[in-house]
Amino acid sequence: MSNMLNSKTQSGDDSILLAQAETDALIEMVSDQITLDTFDPNDHELLKRMVIEGLGDSRGLVRLRFAETLGEIGEPATPFLIEALANHPNPVIRRAAAKTLNIIADPTAVSPLLHALLNDEDTVVRGSAAGALARTGETAVPALLEVLASTEYPESTKGQAAWALAFIGSEAAEHLYAALDSDSVDVRCAVVGAIAHVAQEQSDERACKVLVSSLTDPASVIRTEAAAALAQINYPPAIPHLILALRDRDGEVRKTAVTSLGKIGDRTALEPLQAALKDELEVVRLLAKLAISQIEKR
């Protein structure tokens, strides 16, 4: 019995080593063809093998090399990566396909990537799909905004969509400004977060003004987001508006405004912060004391 088990184990090990040797030979062949400029991007069978065998290899470094090579090949590989992402039962291959689509950033992949973000059972696949959508850029923005506006999707999915929007940043600026009038709080909140990235990237006056105006949004979560964002940019006109936010009816907004004024460090905020030492919320009073200390140390 023991000999039989050992024989089966040996046979299994041999088959794994053989498969790995074939995969190694495949990537070497493709690499040589690319170097010699003889690679045929219309060789569909070869591209399929690279996706299924290469991205399904048990060795992480080998999968990475195939992903990078497929990324170098670019858009001719997209259909085969999309097919693997949509239908392959092995989550390792679906993950690697999404990550490779991230490298290629092909706009034609937006729809299948969105489907993976919304429907794949594997959390890594969903996260990788969000990353690839972010890299795709402006083309993905309308779809991401639709996800945020929907009531069907969980907060985790909306969080990934909001992150992708913020990553796209200035490339999506016109879409973002248009979406500020959305009835959806989730959309407006994500847009404010993304516009904050635009303001940081470019010191964009329009983006800064949007953040200031968002301090009066009807939704307290958006006022809080705007107050936090304004601490990260050097925009002196925001200071009096943050001082007004110290009297906001929502405690979270007041807390964030106090913290932001402390980070900005302008001495015109000292007197209003002294008044905040009498706030009804203990956390606001404590943060006001800290903010005053921060400013005075400057």
pLDDT number for residue 1: 58
Span 6-36, pLDDT tens digits: 555 555 567 888 889 999 999 999 999 999 9
In a domain, 127, yes or no: no
Residue 3 within a domain: no
Average pLDDT over residues 218-240: 94
What's the pTM?
Answer: 0.83
Mean pLDDT in residue range 125-142: 96
- Long-range pairs for 89-96: beta carbons < 8 A, 24 or more residues apart: 90/56, 91/122, 91/124, 91/125, 92/55, 92/56, 92/63, 93/51, 93/52, 93/55, 93/56, 94/120, 94/122, 94/125, 95/122, 95/124, 95/125, 95/128, 96/55, 96/56, 96/63, 96/66, 96/67
Question: Is 172 a residue whose pLDDT tops 90?
Answer: no
Residue 197 reports pLDDT greater than 70: yes
Asked whether the beta carbons of 264 and 239 are under 8 A apart, the reply is yes
In whole angstroms, what is the distance from residue 11 CA to residue 13 CA? 5
The one-letter amino acid code at 288 reads A
- Looking at the structure of the chain, the number of domains it has is 1
In a domain, 89, yes or no: no
Residue 268 sits in a domain whose CATH number is 1.25.10.10
Q: Can you tell me the distance from the alpha carbon of 283 to that of 276, in angstroms, rounded to the nearest whole number?
A: 11
Q: How confident is the model at residue 73 (pLDDT cuts 50, 70, 90)?
A: very high
Q: What is the pLDDT of residues 284-293, one digit of tens each?
A: 999 999 999 9
Q: Is the residue at 217 inside a domain?
A: yes
- Residue-wise pLDDT tens digits, 213-227: 999 999 999 999 999
Assess whether pLDDT exceeds 50 at residue 231.
Answer: yes
pLDDT bucket at 298, cuts 50 / 70 / 90: confident
Task: Report the pLDDT value the prediction gives residue 5, as an integer from 0 to 100.
Answer: 47
Residue 232 covered by a domain: yes
Instruction: Look at residue 252 and tell me if it is in a domain.
Output: yes
In the chain, pLDDT over 90 holds for what percent of residues? 87
Give me the pLDDT at residue 10, please. 55
State the average pLDDT for the chain: 93
Domain that holds residue 232: 203-298
